[in-house]
Amino acid sequence: MWGIQRTRYADCNGSEASEEAEVVVNIGGVKQVLYGDVLKRYPDTRLAELVDCSLKSSEEISSLCDDYDPDSGEFYFDRDPEAFKCIIELYYYGEIHMKRGICPICFMKEMEFWKIDSAFLDECCKCHLKEVEDELAEIAEKVRTILVDREGDPSAGGWQRFQMYVWRLMEKPDSSLPAHIIAIVSFIFILVSSVVMCVGTIPDLQVEDSEGNLTEHPTLEVIETVCIGWFTIEYVLRLISSPNKIKFVMAFMNIIDFMAIMPFYVVLILTSFGAGVLELANVQQAVQALRIMRIARIFKLARHSSGLQTLTSALKSSFKELGLLLMYMGVGVFLFSALGYTMEQNHPETLFTSIPQSFWWAVITMTTVGYGDVYPKTTLGRCNAAISFLCGVIAIALPIHPIINNFVMFYNKQQVLETAAKHEIELMALRSGAGELKAAPGAHKHACDGAWDNPMRSCHSDTYIPLLKDPRGGAGMATPSKDPSFESTAEVSEYFVS
């Protein structure tokens, strides 16, 4: 028998608290002897209601516990004994701490069963609970997305179903075989377009126009036109089928897609005005700038790579560390460039002509690049350079470790959430099959009643966590907290790329 040593408290008048009847509880097979005066410190809890059970009817007693032995006065509860060790701490210490290894959501169900408010939970445990609730909300959203992708909305009309089909076809590679093929084709077009853009700059592969200027080879221009045509069709179809047009247009990756195809049409429009317009210097510079903007299409690869998306999200969560890095570098560049100019300005062959010109030297020195185009020639200047690159190494190294940690934590979290979402879908399929078996008249009635109709297990089980309501109109979904068959997989990773 385990327990916490009973303490005695004095009442407000200074006299000792009198001992009341002992309350014997059996929590999942483990007996515990409690005292009425201790339990009544929190009279609104379930345990406090057990103190005066001798005055209650058998129906009222049955509503408080799972079973009751009137001969020994023992109350039986089909609950987790490890969680109860934490629950009983409230009556002795005034607050509750969750032990390591207990699921926070399941523990909150335990507190709800014992009629204990969550305000008695310690602050550190509340933070842990909030993190778990956020993760469950993300899992629920992923599950909802998968279900919608697989089954669609039954109440949608013909055009809406067509929109949803096109959206899944263009945005969800794992939703069907045609969608997977389209994703592969799009990936190939991105690679081909990027290679053509690079190869087109090789002088040996360029041809001269009527004026003797080098231009891209006609074959490369044809390939470029075909790629732009594919990108345009892809963008238009995704825009038409998007459920939220404004959100689609303002999304960062969709802005990249638009920038990848826009230069081609702008150059095409300028060309249609004739050679006279293209001969203007400003127009030529604009055309050249638009051609350079074609490099933006390389970012389209992130649409088909969950790793690149994870890296982008990790960098977004590391803005504070990146800001510190830029601040350290900015202070160092300003300080050492000013010192370098001061120490080198009296040298007859100085390369430090001004402080702004010295910024370049400070940047390449602090980043340990050292091109050698600007370097100090005095002893003090060289000492300043040595200190600057040492400080640069330290300034760069300090924020790097938190950035790497953010990336690893974000990546691991994404893998866990995606695996949990897949596991949730599998459990829903199992419950759906069990429900059909239960509905069959006369088939395995006893087995179904034992596994699914036991009200005590459905009410008291610590492995049932409602996440969201089934969009098909069913009951809430459940998430396992102690299922050993939880396996890692990346099967649903591309579902959440949008």
Q: Do 174 and 295 belong together in one domain?
A: yes
Under 8 Å CB-to-CB from 234, ≥6 apart: which residues?
Answer: 170, 186, 257
Boundary (domain end) residue, out of 304, 334, 363: 304
Q: Do 198 and 70 belong together in one domain?
A: no
With beta carbons less than 8 A apart as the criterion, state whether 397 and 390 touch: no
| pLDDT of 130 | 80
Q: Do 186 and 285 belong together in one domain?
A: yes
Distance CA 171, CA 179 (A): 8
| pLDDT of 70 | 84
Q: Do 339 and 389 belong together in one domain?
A: yes
| pLDDT of 364 | 92
Q: Domain containing 350 — which CATH number? A: 1.10.287.70
Question: Crossing angle for the helix pair 319-344 and 379-439, nearest 10 degrees?
Answer: 170
User: How many residues appear in the chain?
Assistant: 498
With beta carbons less than 8 A apart as the criterion, state whether 38 and 6 touch: yes
| Segments forming the whole domain that contains residue 114 | 22-139
Distance CA 73, CA 50 (A): 10
Q: Do 84 and 124 belong together in one domain?
A: yes
Q: Do 317 and 380 belong together in one domain?
A: yes
Each of the 498 residues of the chain gets a pLDDT tens digit; together they read 344 444 433 333 333 333 457 888 999 889 888 888 888 889 888 888 888 877 778 888 888 888 888 888 889 999 988 889 888 888 888 888 888 878 888 888 888 899 888 888 888 888 878 877 877 777 777 777 666 666 555 566 677 888 888 888 888 777 788 888 988 898 888 888 888 888 888 888 888 777 677 777 888 889 988 988 998 998 999 899 888 888 888 887 788 788 878 878 877 777 776 555 555 555 556 666 666 666 666 776 666 666 777 777 778 878 888 888 889 899 999 999 999 999 998 888 898 989 999 999 999 999 888 888 899 999 999 999 999 999 999 988 888 888 888 888 888 877 777 777 777 777 777 877 766 555 554 444 443 343 333 333 333 334 344 444 444 444 444 433 333 333 333 333 333 333
- The pTM (predicted TM-score) of the whole model is 0.54
Q: Domain containing 27 — which CATH number? A: 3.30.710.10
Q: How many domains does the chain have?
A: 3
Distance CA 484, CA 487 (A): 8
Q: Do 378 and 313 belong together in one domain?
A: yes
335: left (phi over 0), alpha (psi -120 to 50) or beta: alpha
Q: Domain containing 175 — which CATH number? A: 1.20.120
14-50 residues labelled b (16+ CB within 10 A) or e (exposed): eeeeeeeeebbbbbeeeebebbbbbbbebeebbbbbb
Q: Do 220 and 125 belong together in one domain?
A: no
